[in-house]
Structure 1
Amino acid sequence: MGMHEFQIIQSYFTSPPLRADLGVGDDCALFRVTQGHQCAVTSDMLVAGRHFFWDVDARTLGHKALAVNLSDLAAMGAEPLGFTLSLALPAVSEAWLADFSGGLLNLAREFNCDLIGGDTTKSVASLEHNGLVINITAFGQVPAGAAIRRDGARVGDDVWVSGTLGDAACALALLLRERSGEVLSVAEALALTALRPRLECPMPRVALGAALRGVASSMLDLSDGLAGDVRHVLQASNADVEIDCDALPLSSPLKNLNLEQECPLWHAWRDALTGGDDYELCFTAPVTQRDVLAALSIHVGVPLTRVGRVVEREGEAPNVLWRSENSPEGLVHMSEWRGYNHFS
């Protein structure tokens, strides 16, 4: 007889609470938010065949499933407290559950974040995917009134991003070609090895998000590509933005592959702006905060790059104005660029 739901929970998803008063094993979990703080809540669903390959390494999948939620908490400057996990499994594999829970709970411990409940059920596989669905709801806390929202950008503010952009999108494109049977060149294979961790094991910028409280005027995390995500800030803040494409932070593997393939520069911009899965932070801040941000970048050990500025809204819809001195010919391709669309 196979394992039933409660055996799965007890065997793989139960551990002593790190900070919750009551975690897995009762009808509800109990946890406290520090006095003077607000509770921040976010939820993300990952579906096999849409968000990940059905045969992806289970340990990295467990890591990413939690990481994308912690990235949302980071985007509001929140400290993680706990999370719930709901799994729809097509079948029970104890080896898969051990690896998945290992990746998930290792990241949870790194951020002192309890698994406090959830649900498991059997799913039905289809031609499109193997039936695996993962849903996580994460809870965090942020000092009352200190959350960094999307509606705080002001005309004249700088636009900043953390880390590098486009690595996950490039890795995904190379993986899709490899899985289709295409033989990658030596340069492409090296780039895939270097960039694949950015796709499968993103690291949420929790410390950076907390450090930006009182510094950033607005913020979000880049899950669907800067070209699309930044428009959410513009819509909420009633502004437009100018983006300097020459300033976009590109990793060495991405730049080197672009040079190796003799691609125009705007090909790398496309990955950086529209690919998604970066899970870096994009934020705005007053010009007066530049020195503060330079010191903050060194303190948290995360590169920060100024890529544009907020400008007055010109029309009814938010608009992104692309700028480049190094490759102005590439701008003609960019007028309709948007981020990843789950229903495209």
Structure 2
Amino acid sequence: MRAITYSTYGDADVLELTDRPDPHVGPDVVVVGVRAASVNPVDWKVRQGYLDGLLDAQFPVVPGWDVAGVVEQVGLDTPEHQVGDEVYGYVRTDVVHGGTFAEKVAAPVRTLARKPRSLSFEEAAAVPLTGLTALQSIRRSGVRDGQTVLVHAAAGGVGSFAVQIARALGARVIGTASEANHEFLRSLGAEPVTYGDGLAERVRALAPDGVDVALDYVGGDAVAVSAEVLADGGTITSITDPAARDEHGGHYVWVRPSTADLDDLTAMFDAGTLRVEVARTYDLADAADAHRASEDGHVRGKIVVRV
């Protein structure tokens, strides 16, 4: 099968289109014929070696954790899926090796769910990691009706889902973004504020009594700023900075594969509660360009690779 691989840590130039053996199907694993995958910042951070020691890499690595495709082969005990099922998933395992930037991927059934009927394969591939991150961080934070929620990097892949999910729960949402993305945030139901110097003052102007929940999806000084604008008894949750948990009594979230959570996202998409923003689409052979676009950091929504 064709696959993107890299055999050493480095910049996007280490990515190559190669021929690899077809993946092995285990007892609780299905082989998915990949129609589309997507790029997440963690993909190029792993490729650059930033997570070495936290995640073990077995070279050559096929990158990518997000997938949408069709089940081609089932394992000995996979009653959840049949050949021909359209699925999507967050195919992360403990060893970084056989990822989704390939024509086929071996996916444990715990990482997959049925693809939303309302989404194309390209749109579905843009959902799993970011959608699960948003859903799990919101649930960990206890977001509920009537609260005011601050979402950092609200126009990004995770942030845009978090805005929509929090709004669906009945929360008021304030979202940080560049001015170019303010109208986009309004279309999702958020009140936009510009990030950067003076952010705490701008948030306080919108929420004089503070925010009940602050969700950090960007890092930097987001946790520190959140602490400045947090209401008494409020919660800070971060996916980038352990200080949210260790210094402020909040939460530090590392997204987990979950069929049940993917099913919940599917229901939201098919009900029209959620929408997904695909920023750009690349062919598999151009995966290095897709990684570079993600590293540039100025993309609204998700970057998708078509297989």
| TM band (smaller chain) | under 0.3
**Structure (1 or 2) with the larger CA radius of gyration:** 1
The structure with the largest helix share of the pair is 1
The structure with the largest strand share of the pair is 2
TM (norm. structure 1) is 0.25
